[in-house]
Amino acid sequence: MYRIGIIGTENSHAMAFSKIINLPNTKTGKLLFPDVKVVGAYGPDKDSANALVNEAGVDFVLVCPEDFHGKVDAMLITNRKGSLHSRYAMPFIKKGMPVFIDKPFTSSLEEAENLIKIAKEKGAKLCGGSSCRLAYDVLMLQNSVRNLKASGNMVSGSMNFSADPESEYDEFYFYASHLTEMALTVFGYDVRSVTTMQNNGSRISIWRYDGYDVSLHFTKETGIDSSAIIYAKNGNIMRNIDISMVYEHEMARFINMIKTNEMPESYENLVAPIRLIAAIEESVKTGMEVKI
């Protein structure tokens, strides 16, 4: 049995992930991962930690994060604030343990780069970030862009998702990772520069690639509705993005990483969204194009 601990129970993701792993599937009546269990939780919010025991079959709640050592084989770090992720993840990374770090990976580029540096030194396998990039619609759009680029028909593109520059959870970083990671997945990680404008709390960011630009609309107070348009010489592609199954996909990737000791993506791909968000922030403040 692979034993998992979870820190950051104030986030609804903690309950969602724990239920996916610990409870039988409602359609089949069987566990999706019969040899894996979320066994322990640490809040720091005690009420939400205890709720995992009562509602998601978690065995125990710990008084401090250090008590996980010797009791678990891997960790889920799910705090709402990315500024807490390095603090809670680092002790387990230093022990070489597999760690999932929820979105945003961090709320600081310096912290993200330091986490990756230590993980490489200790051989710790990491995954995480926004689950939205795993939506089937995002992967279909990714395939379309790859084909259009290969055939020379790619012209431009546009995507949207909600984000709030004034969120109480580390401001823009809290939700910006969703659109940032979906866009990197669809259009590629080879962004050359970022130019961003803000009006009434919403932001439009222009990402420049070699041969085309992409506009990203970080829209305040619009919920989780997301869509994309790919402009092509041989006809446009429009798709609404359904994110209903992404938590299951994310946990499957995490558990596969635990079992195989192979990361589902590179360390650099975990840092890249934070680098882009930092560039967007800089562009908003300076009004200038920011090179990546």
Q: Is residue 269 part of a domain?
A: no
For residues 169 and 83, membership in a common domain is answered with no
How far apart are alpha carbons 190 and 130 in whole angstroms?
Answer: 19
Number of domains in the chain: 2
Sheet-wide strand order for 126-129: 60-61, 36-42, 2-7, 74-77, 99-102, 126-129
For residues 42 and 144, membership in a common domain is answered with no
What percent of the chain shows pLDDT beyond 70? 100
For residues 152 and 99, membership in a common domain is answered with no
For residues 148 and 236, membership in a common domain is answered with yes
| Residue 76 phi, psi (nearest 5) | -110, 125
Where is pLDDT greater, at 46 or 183? 183
How far apart are alpha carbons 14 and 20 in whole angstroms?
Answer: 10
Q: Is residue 144 part of a domain?
A: yes
For residues 102 and 181, membership in a common domain is answered with no
pLDDT range class, residue 145, cuts 50, 70, 90:
very high
Instruction: For residue 207, list its beta bridge partners.
Output: 194, 214
pLDDT of residue 49: 96
Range(s) of the domain holding residue 159: 132-243+275-291
For residues 236 and 250, membership in a common domain is answered with no
**Does pLDDT of 250 surpass 90?**
yes
Q: Is residue 270 part of a domain?
A: no
Encode pLDDT of 257-271 as tens digits: 999 999 999 999 999
For residues 74 and 214, membership in a common domain is answered with no
Residues 75 and 68 sit within 8 Å (Cβ to Cβ): yes
Q: Is residue 147 part of a domain?
A: yes
pLDDT of residue 224: 84
Encode pLDDT of 23-36 as tens digits: 999 889 999 999 99
For residues 168 and 285, membership in a common domain is answered with yes
Q: Is residue 173 part of a domain?
A: yes
The CATH number of the domain holding residue 254 is 3.40.50.720
For residues 101 and 115, membership in a common domain is answered with yes
pLDDT of residue 222: 82
Q: Is residue 111 part of a domain?
A: yes
pLDDT of residue 27: 87
Q: Is residue 88 part of a domain?
A: yes
For residues 25 and 144, membership in a common domain is answered with no
The CATH number of the domain holding residue 219 is 3.30.360.10
Task: Annotate 113-133 with DSSP letters as a single string.
Answer: HHHHHHHHHHT--EEEE-GGG
Q: Which residues contact 271 (CB under 8 A, 6 or more apart)?
A: 105, 109, 112, 113, 116
Residues 185 and 177 sit within 8 Å (Cβ to Cβ): no
pLDDT of residue 107: 98
For residues 174 and 63, membership in a common domain is answered with no
Q: Is residue 174 part of a domain?
A: yes
Where is pLDDT greater, at 46 or 6? 6
pLDDT of residue 223: 79
Encode pLDDT of 178-222 as tens digits: 999 999 999 999 999 999 999 999 999 999 999 999 999 999 988
For residues 104 and 233, membership in a common domain is answered with no
pTM of the predicted protein model: 0.96
